[in-house]
């Protein structure tokens, strides 16, 4: 409690005077504390309802309608002693028909095992609702306007497709949940680069090694089959391979800022050219207007992608989709970042490394 509040309370007790009333535009402290929690619960329930009906659109022959569906099936196959990499994909004879092979490492499948015991609609709703609630809580704690980012197409796309970006972003913003990033290796790499946090690296390593040990115990030969599957993932590329992404390297000039490092990590780590990959960019805006502008950019990028991709050859679709995200979302975010000073908290080791790089090769100045 601050000094003014203590004095006010003392005056009320000693002199019989009532403390001054709280200004009408300032909510009670209990309201400020419970507001983010109530909003998070509401968004979590809404997300569960949103995906509940979509989870039941899986056809009888097993065609997946979300990214989570084939992971749920993979976990069931693994639990029964089968090979998830042989059971899932577009190939003939696959028990679970999906347009892509199983690109996830078996460590991720192991992590999904607890949800595999549930019916798919329930498991999918939980997989989406819990991260949505956690991300909402983290955003609402930052400001009243940060939750506006939940209206971005990236978030809507991630929820509808039961993708990982909402979970990984929420985990990265929640210290006790950082180890969950090990479930999505690309996201773990991006967030470790963005936060420069030794604690996050430690938590990811602990969870990752534990999952690796269990996966090797269940299937000692899975790594070779997984590497073969990911070798066919030609649509998963770093955005930085596109010339349009090269200006994003200017974010290095703001390396002390978390928003600049998040933007740069998004460009450096292999991702699919889909709007749901851009959920971490919700950390870039610094005002309500900027957040609404970013939200609008994500919807425009989706509309442009949809119109352009259907009119180009398959070989060019990934590049066209990447360029749409770059031109309409990431480069505008870069403009916001470059308008800010290069200030921010960084770990001591990062500051020391930056100092060493600045002074490398310089001769010590002689004393007068």
Residues 350-368: tens digit of each pLDDT: 777 777 777 775 545 444 4
Assigned token pair, 230 = 């990911």
Assigned token pair, 157 = 């796309």
Kindly list the distances between the CA atom of residue 193 and the CA atoms of 43, 80, 197, 251, 339, in Å, as whole numbers in the listed order. 29, 37, 8, 13, 22
pLDDT class of 9 with cuts at 50, 70, 90: very low
Would you say residue 19 has pLDDT above 50?
no
pLDDT at 315: 67
Assigned token pair, 164 = 């990982």
pLDDT class of 112 with cuts at 50, 70, 90: very high
Closest listed residue to residue 118, CA positions, set 169, 165, 48: 48
Terminal Cα-to-Cα distance of the chain (whole angstroms): 53
Q: Mean pLDDT across the chain, nearest whole number?
A: 86
| Those residues with Cβ within 8 angstroms of residue 103's Cβ, 6 or more apart along the chain or in another chain | 229, 230, 233, 236
pLDDT at 325: 96
More confident site: 316 or 156: 156
Residue 89, SS3 per DSSP: strand
Closest listed residue to residue 172, CA positions, set 181, 164, 163: 181
pLDDT at 89: 87
Most confident of 71-80, 337-346, 355-364: 71-80
Mean pLDDT for 308-333 is 87
Dihedral, CA atoms, 70, 76, 78, 84, nearest 10 degrees? Answer: -30
Which of the residue ranges 46-60, 73-87, 150-164, 233-247 would you say has the lowest mean pLDDT?
A: 46-60
**Backbone region of residue 16 per phi and psi (left: phi > 0; alpha: psi in -120 to 50; beta: other values):** left
Residues 136-161: tens digit of each pLDDT: 999 999 999 999 999 999 999 999 99
pLDDT class of 96 with cuts at 50, 70, 90: confident
Phi first, then psi, for residue 366 (nearest 5°) are -70, 140
Question: Considering the entire predicted model, what is its pTM?
Answer: 0.84
Percentages helix, strand, coil for the chain (3-state, rounded to 5) are: 70, 0, 30
pLDDT at 314: 63
Closest listed residue to residue 66, CA positions, set 93, 95, 96, 106: 96
Would you say residue 11 has pLDDT above 60?
no
The C-alpha atoms of residue 334 and residue 190 are separated, in whole angstroms, by 17
pLDDT at 148: 97
Assigned token pair, 60 = 């009888």
Mean pLDDT for 323-351 is 91
Would you say residue 269 has pLDDT above 80?
yes
Kindly list the distances between the CA atom of residue 252 and the CA atoms of 12, 257, 296, 349, in Å, as whole numbers in the listed order. 55, 9, 26, 17
Closest listed residue to residue 255, CA positions, set 346, 186, 157, 130: 346
Residue with tokens 């309370």: 9
In DSSP terms, 89 is beta-bridged to: 97
């Amino acid at each position: 409690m601050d000094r003014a509040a203590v004095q006010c309370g003392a005056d009320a007790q000693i002199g019989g005077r009532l403390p001054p009333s709280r200004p009408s535009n300032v909510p009670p402290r209990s309201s400020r504390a419970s507001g983010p929690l109530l909003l998070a619960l509401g968004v979590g329930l809404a997300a569960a309802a949103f995906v509940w009906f979509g989870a039941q659109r899986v056809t009888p022959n097993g065609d997946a309608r979300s990214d989570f569906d084939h992971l749920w099936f993979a976990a069931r196959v693994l639990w029964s002693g089968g090979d998830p990499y042989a059971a899932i994909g577009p190939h003939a004879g696959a028990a679970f028909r999906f347009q892509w092979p199983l690109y996830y490492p078996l460590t991720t499948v192991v992590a999904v095992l607890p949800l595999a015991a549930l019916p798919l609609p329930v498991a999918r709703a939980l997989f989406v609702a819990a991260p949505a609630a956690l991300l909402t809580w983290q955003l609402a704690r930052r400001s009243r306007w940060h939750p506006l980012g939940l209206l971005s197409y990236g978030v809507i796309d991630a929820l509808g497709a039961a993708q990982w970006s909402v979970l990984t972003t929420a985990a990265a913003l929640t210290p006790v949940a950082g180890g969950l990033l090990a479930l999505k290796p690309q996201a773990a790499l991006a967030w470790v680069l963005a936060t420069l946090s030794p604690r996050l690296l430690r938590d990811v390593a602990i969870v990752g090694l534990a999952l690796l040990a269990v996966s090797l115990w269940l299937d000692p030969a899975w790594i070779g089959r997984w590497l073969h599957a990911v070798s066919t993932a030609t649509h998963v590329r770093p955005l930085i391979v596109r010339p349009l992404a090269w200006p994003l390297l200017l974010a290095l000039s703001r390396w002390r800022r978390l928003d600049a490092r998040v933007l740069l990590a998004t460009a450096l780590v292999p991702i699919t050219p889909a709007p749901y990959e851009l959920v971490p960019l919700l950390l870039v805006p610094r005002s309500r207007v900027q957040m609404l502008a970013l939200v609008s950019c994500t919807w425009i990028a989706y509309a442009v992608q949809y119109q352009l991709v259907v009119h180009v050859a398959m070989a060019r679709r990934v590049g066209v989709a990447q360029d749409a995200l770059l031109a309409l979302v990431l480069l505008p975010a870069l403009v916001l970042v470059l308008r800010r000073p290069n200030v921010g908290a960084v770990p001591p080791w990062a500051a020391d490394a930056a100092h060493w790089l600045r002074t490398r090769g310089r001769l010590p100045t002689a004393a007068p």
